[in-house]
A = this chain, B = another copy of it.
Amino acid sequence: MAPERWIKSPGADTLPDAGPGSAAVPSASQMVAGLRATSQGEGLVELLSPEGVLTPHPDYPLDVTPELLRDLYRDMVLVRRFDREANALQRQGQLGIWVPLLGQEAAQIGAGRAMRPQDMAFPSYREHGIAWCRGIDPTELLGIFRGTDHSGWDPKATRFHDYTIVIGNQVLNATGYAMGQRFDGKVGSGGPDAENTDEATIVFFGDGATSQGDVHEGMVYAAAFDAPVVFYCQNNQWAISEPVEKQSRVPLHKRALGYGFPGIRVDGNDVLACLAVTRWALDECRSGNGPVMIEAFTYRMDAHTTSDDPTRYRLADETEAWKMFDPIERVRVYLTRSGGADQAFFDGVQAEADELAARFRAFTVAMPTPGPERMFSHVYTAPHHQLDRQQAEYLEYLAGFEGDAESGAGGTVNGHAGATAGGAR
């Protein structure tokens, strides 16, 4: 048969013709490149349309009850609320940085609620909504962003791994964990209560991450070892300033074809679709048919982080356009129309959100700074004579400052240690 060919649309090529100035004023078309490159391609799975119309999907059945919708709505509202609060806290200097999830509430709550207690999650650094679903209090996320520590919850007890900042690393770690679930006989056991005892793993990464070697190797290993892992890619169209088309010519879920496992594109702003598809994928893995890849097609409504300035690389038009696909609004509309919730419910959720925000803020400003010994603790699990000695010497050095009015531990004061010859002075 004739090979599928890839022929560039004439003129699309900006190279090598692109001379100086070519990139001067980004055109709207350049700017919505990310969308263009990926919104083509058939088979986006959607249950609840942006207009709030519910259409069951033959392959991904879901029992849509008012309770379910109210719970998901509440989850999304509360998560968005503390996300916005964190953003504000950073602006006020209370956090060093914040990584907003704004716009990705459905992609995360849908996936998070699809998980069973025995399942394991490996997040990137933006998965505050997944953390919420794993029962982690939002305040436990703050240590990383206030700089008091590198993590803040119990990743073993919550089955929610520490955030991973090095793009792609966690995909291999998750695959290995899933291999272990299989080696433990926790996959496709056919046991009586299998759905509550058999396990699966889900790993979260972005559109940009798909270019990293580690993500590829994770998919290769998962396929080779039939690992029960769901590769959940939140395609929010941007990797900082780079639109997704810089990473791929074709929709990202198609990567799965090259490895021999299913790849599904879901409307990432439709919490019901994300829930239904992720549940299907986790159960496929649980029963031994893993891995599975999911591309949640969504949008990063805010800056990459509070340090980022999106006005330099994307148009307000684009963000405006996406507001019409808001993940929370469509649920609110459906709940209202269908009579699944009344105003009291919405007001109640709002009040709960405000309380959460207040508690979140109060906690932040009161967070203690660890002592110098944190620097040396938990580098190793077993004793380490060299490090113990470095710690002892440093604490002794600090002790030399005591009583020195101007000084504080580790401060860059002018009077220095009396623990040494300098003490003579």
Contacts and interface: CB of A to CB of B under 8 A. Distances in A.
Contacts of A225: 15
A210 B256 CA distance: 15
Contacts of A59: 1-3
A4 interface: yes
Given A2-B59, A216-B213, A261 B289 contact: no
Interface in A251-297: 254-264, 284, 288-290, 292
B249 A13 contact: no
Contact of A259 (B220, B250, B256): B250
Interface string A175-206: 00000001111001000000000000000000
Contacts of A4: 257, 262
A16 B183 contact: yes
Interface in A226-262: 226, 246-250, 254-262
Contact of A284 (B5, B16, B216): B5
Interface in A1-22: 1-8, 13, 15-16
A185 B250 contact: no
A43 interface: yes
A336 interface: no
A182 B14 CA distance: 11
A264 B3 contact: yes
A39 interface: no
B260 A246 contact: no
Interface of A: 1-8, 13, 15-16, 42-43, 58-59, 182-185, 188, 210-214, 216-217, 220, 223-226, 246-250, 254-264, 284, 288-290, 292
Ranked 8 nearest A-B pairs via Cβ: A213-B213, A249-B260, A216-B216, A258-B258, A250-B260, A255-B258, A3-B262, A257-B257
